[in-house]
Chains A and B, each alone.
Chain A
């Protein structure tokens, strides 16, 4: 059977450090950190008071007043990223068939920012458990059901095929891309707008990570607070953002002369069935997800040119992940560059998986791998090549991007340079 292949033909990004995929790529390749003291609300009294925030003005970016009013920040970022991706794909000129167009959007925490803001109003700042519905804004329901995020993106791109929100915590962004690719591979859709968004820099989300001491308390030096794989790492730095892709069936994309960034060649997800937040040091289930994704992509460990790591900068994650790479890739784990862009743009929960897919696609596009910033003192338990500090020119045809999330989710996506699977590449070599 000749399986339908999936191409990425458009990329849109809203990220800390600059709006749009070009600014995003500059941030990453410059090794610039976008982590700073929280400005979206007054963080006094919180344990961790730093985050990687997006600077954008929704009106200046082209959203109408009505749109701004009804959309949570996560929706605004998703729609803006989707618009950029559509423009980038060139599809707006050749209108895909709405019935054959789908959306898979990921988000871990949905519209919590608005949900919290409006709660403060209807509850009289938390004083009334029995809140007053008379103060509810008209779009409150959109904030309760995060599927509204996927709906907004569907309206943006005119999708009338399958549309859904994937909410698997911090792997949502990888799972959304993986699920979108499946819709195309299965023949259910020809075009899927896939990606993820999250806007979690609000008091409740900051407080909930404070409570479990998962975030970095390095408030005095925010620019250097996100330190994946460093011996002195002390937690992740919260981020926000969105990345959205136009996925197309490869032959159709080629037939219309679209630019193909890369193929989504393999995807798999597994549960660790261990703990909602804890990770066993052996990385067993993530390794299993990696193996399954490699199988789906028909590649071997030796084909992998770059690993875009989850690299959250918590003590347990970086160790867990390093073990998973060794377990699944053997000696190749020591040869291949591995980096974490969370060192620069923080951890935007569900969105980050898609931002990492964007970074991976751009790495293939430019043959450059982004660095792990702030990595100064290697952790003896993390002994791979993490590309410290400075981006590296590096022939990049095959990228493995992985993620790990609360709930035990472990996901892996394999991206390959356009038009070549592992067998073809080996034959060509």
Chain B
């Protein structure tokens, strides 16, 4: 399976938490923290849930708690997808 891209993650982020008026998701956000992107803990949990449901990748509690940036999410997802 091809790696998930930042664009795909952006779509999931918008569905999970909308877009803050002050934030431009089309910027290079790979290493911007979710906090700086105005995604709170609930939005990240929703994102983790959507990754499980829509991308079919299991995200245990500890992994979700460690998601700080989009890059960390993509790394996690793509490593797991590679194993499957």
Contact = CB atoms under 8 A, between A and B. Distances in A.
A211 B42 CA distance: 9
A276 B61 contact: no
A328 to B, nearest CB: 26
B74 interface: no
B17 interface: no
Interface in A269-292: 275-278
B41 interface: yes
A213 B42 contact: no
Interface residues of B, number: 8
Interface string A197-239: 0000000000000011100010000000000000000000000
B20 interface: no
Contacts of A211: 45-46, 49
Contacts of B46: 211
Nearest to B65: A213
A278 B40 contact: yes
A212 B46 CA distance: 8
A275 B45 contact: no
A217 B64 CA distance: 15
Nearest to B61: A213
A278 B45 contact: no
Contacts of B49: 211
Nearest to B42: A277
Contacts of A275: 40, 42
Interface string B39-62: 011100110010000000000010
Interface in B8-45: 40-42, 45
B40 A213 contact: no
A215 to B, nearest CB: 11
Contacts of B61: 213, 217
A156 to B, nearest CB: 38
B42 A212 contact: yes
A218 B47 CA distance: 24
A276 B45 contact: no
Contacts of B45: 211-213
Contacts of A276: 42
Given A211-B46, A278-B40, 14 more contacts: A211-B45, A211-B49, A212-B42, A212-B45, A213-B45, A213-B61, A213-B64, A275-B40, A275-B42, A276-B42, A277-B41, A277-B42, A278-B41, A278-B42
Task: List the 6 closest pairs (A to B, CB-CB), nearest first.
Answer: A212-B45, A213-B61, A211-B49, A277-B42, A278-B41, A212-B42
Interface of A: 211-213, 217, 275-278
11 contacts: A211-B45, A211-B46, A211-B49, A213-B64, A217-B61, A275-B40, A275-B42, A277-B41, A277-B42, A278-B41, A278-B42
